[in-house]
A and B are shown apart, each in its own frame.
Chain A
Amino acid sequence: MLIFIIRRLVSGVTVLVALCCVTFFLLYYSGSNIAQNILGEFATSDQIAAKEHELGLDQPLIVRMLNWFGGALHGDLGTSWFTNEPVTQSLLSRLPVTLALIVTATIGIAILASGFGIAAAVKRGGVDRLLQTGAVVGQAIPEFVFAIILVTVFAIGLGWFPATSSIAPGAGGAAWIASLALPVIALVINGLTSTAQQIRSAVIGELERDYVRTLRSRGTPEPVILFKHVMRSAAPAGLTVLSLHFIGMLGGVVIIEQIFALPGMGALAVQSTTLGDTPLVMGVVVYTVVIVIIVNLLVDLANGWLNPKVRVS
């Protein structure tokens, strides 16, 4: 088990370093006018040269990259060029919003999708057909469309929710719930049907296995078969699709956070990338990759715990 974890961590770090290098390259070759953008349209060429020197933009790529990696190894991700705030501080002020959004949505998807998926697998018939249709509709309509509909109807039309975030540090729980409700619903609607579909298939697959027949022939009650045996074997499929959703949502929130003006990582990623704010973009990449690695590791561990076969292999 330990070797398994270590192996996963080593490959995770490799991915992290590789991604950082690629991002740095891309930023280097795309952001040619950073000093001009910081100083605005009235800046003279002397001013721009001075600013570039101040930010180290006049140094060659390799020096800048080594400087950044040197800092990052000591936990110093630098200071944003466009807000002058330390990158770590910017990320820490925004991470809770994004994580709250994604974790709540994932839990929502897990609960509802299990319910629908199991119901569809056990009952089949109408519930199943509804789920099948829902899965197509849910996947066909992107989450930002749901988000815009929700804002228009519930925030602007009915005025039940704030149209843009009212989250600020020190804002109470009510502000958080009010601000996150609609984005969470948008994310849940989008992820719900496909996850339920996966769970349904896995449960059906298990129900048709020989051991279920054996259990039934021994007179084991149906609920015990379903929740103790079938669910345990079907869970890895559901977990995997949930983890994919979780990781997918890290990207999806970029648009959701823009629509709801939520002060999260996605909005930060958009702002910093358009401006070419290298330190901040690199910070966002590091944090996101780390989250993805951790989630994948946790899912693998959970699968191992649920299903001994995975541990052996």
Chain B
Amino acid sequence: MKFRPLAAGIAVLTAATVALAGCAGGGGAATGGTTAGKTLTLGSLSNVTSFDPAQAHLGHLMPTYQAAYDTLILREPDGTLAPMLATKWEYNDDQTQLTLDLRDDVTFTDGAKFDAAAAKANLDHFKSANGPDANEAKSIKDVQVVDDDTVRVDLTEADPAMLYYLSQAAGFMGSPKALGTEAIKTDPVGSGPYVLDKAASVNGSQFTFTKNPKYWNKDLQKYDKVVVKILPDVTARLNAIVSGQVDAVLLDPKTAPKAEQAGLTQTKWTNDWSGLLLFDRDGKIVPALKDVKVRQAINYAFDRKTMLKEVMGGEGEVTSQVFGKSNDAYIPALDDAYPYDPAKAKQLLSEAGYPDGFSMNVPLLPGTESIMAVVKQQLADVGITIKLSSVPQTSYVSDIIAGKFPLAWFQIFQGEPWVAIRQMITTDAAYNPFHTTSDELQADIDAVQTGGDKAGELAKKVNQYVTDNAWFAPWFRVNQQYFTNAKKVKVEVQIQQAVPNLYNYSPAS
């Protein structure tokens, strides 16, 4: 008798749970039903800051922008550049004028026509709108409308990556009527395969796109609906793919085994290199780093194979070069340029006049404690003492590119040769904060810049130089661990990109 209220309570709880579960079952079935009606649901790490095409950012956000916007040039999964809004392109002899023929049958979703004037408006806007990737337009001097469907891009100097840039952020074309308005920041107006359904989207949580009925290229429009869920937290991404709420997500070495157990399909490719950037090659903060032998000693000090296994769960490939495998500048032999050899490291240090080593201050990014502990220990083994100073996540990049530290750990995207060179090797590169160079290197860089079709091949010399001179201490190329639900979706890897292009997904059946 005494327990009656409790029993009643339990009964109520059970009833409530069953009732709720019943509703959930109904909801789940409904979601499953629409997915079968050709919906692609992606889990994305990043939210869109602005749908203004000039604010587009490559990497994780590419598929989201590609839903709404077309690029001038299409980059195929293997990196080949193919026609899209531009059907043909040609450089003049000194590679400073790029003429593009444009399609004449494309309209934007607000009815405006895509033509040479629209392309010019977009490129001008991209150059002036101060977006994250505005540097892609750095070498654009002027854009000329030649005729209705021809546009000429005049460059201040040869730019071997210009065609690549036109397949990335710089190439997204928005309606000239909408460019620069407040509205386009949250409501894209492009000519892309899908249109944002604002009523079914919550900024920062989910973007829903529906089919653009007037799209010019049905081959690229494989779904009725594309949903992008913003899931910055890796556990939420794991849960979402395991429970079938998304069709594809990027995971990490910690979460990947659980997704594999759940029977999901893993696709791997290497996209970033991880290691140290030895910035202070002129010895402004730490004089020892001026000596190439010291920088080489740092390279010999790391047991890359063990580090890869212990810290990254073996997910990657050991290397001593910063250029990626899918890259013309890649030299296979350089992957093993600096094998683990602490004795040689010590010998190089004493030849350089530092038999007792030296010490320096290195920034510590929260979350990298374990890898930096290994760095500290491995360098201590050859006599180099490092003091780790914690830097908040939001200031890490700005601090290291402001030249506050002699060296820093980072994981950097392995782009096209010229993109990579401009990112970390030229004197104005963000990751060359002390603007170091040499006459020999500069000559090699100039050769790449004016090399045209041979630019990639010529970049091998730059690669050889920075590896021989130990500009960096790369450890490994890191695997992207991308998971898909193979029952629902097929996907093709996009080289040199964090996640595949939107066009690379297709329904499994």
Contacts and interface: CB of A to CB of B under 8 A. Distances in A.
Interface in B94-113: none
A308 interface: no
A90 B204 contact: yes
B203 A90 contact: yes
Nearest to B49: A82
A278 to B, nearest CB: 13
Contact of A160 (B21, B395, B423): B21
Interface residues of A, number: 65
A261 interface: yes
Nearest to B24: A178
B202 A168 contact: yes
Nearest to A37: B394
Interface string B1-26: 01101101100110001001101111
Nearest to A118: B5
Q: Is the interface of A mostly helix, strand, loop or mixed?
A: helix
A124 to B, nearest CB: 9
Interface stretch (A6-14, A47-55, A211-219, A223-231): A47-55
A163 B240 contact: yes
Interface string B440-461: 0000000000000000000000
A84 B135 CA distance: 22
B28 A162 contact: yes
B285 interface: no
Contacts of A166: 27, 31, 245
A43 B199 CA distance: 33
A85 to B, nearest CB: 5
Nearest to B402: A45
Interface string A63-94: 00000000000000000001111000010011
B208 A83 contact: no
Interface string A163-196: 1111011111011011001000100000000000
Given A37-B394, A84-B49, A115-B5, A163 B24 contact: no
B231 A164 contact: yes
Interface stretch (B126-134, B216-224, B298-306, B491-499): B126-134
B50 A84 contact: yes
Nearest to B244: A159
A165 B49 CA distance: 22
A233 to B, nearest CB: 21
Contacts of B47: 82-83, 271
B398 A42 contact: no
A32 to B, nearest CB: 6
A275 B17 CA distance: 38
B239 interface: yes
B200 interface: yes
Contacts of B204: 83, 90, 263, 267-268, 271
A118 B30 CA distance: 41
A263 B230 CA distance: 10
A181 B20 contact: yes
A34 B133 CA distance: 16
Nearest to B47: A83
A161 interface: yes
A163 B5 contact: no
Nearest to A80: B203
Contacts of B430: 41-44
A261 B231 contact: yes
A309 interface: no
B93 interface: no
8 contacts: A151-B239, A164-B240, A164-B243, A166-B27, A178-B28, A263-B202, A271-B47, A274-B393
Interface of B: 2-3, 5-6, 8-9, 12-13, 17, 20-21, 23-28, 30-31, 47-50, 52, 57, 130-135, 185-186, 199-206, 208, 229, 231-233, 235-236, 239-240, 242-245, 393-395, 397-398, 401, 423, 430
Given A36-B398, A174-B27, A261-B239, 5 more contacts: A39-B130, A163-B240, A178-B20, A178-B26, A263-B202
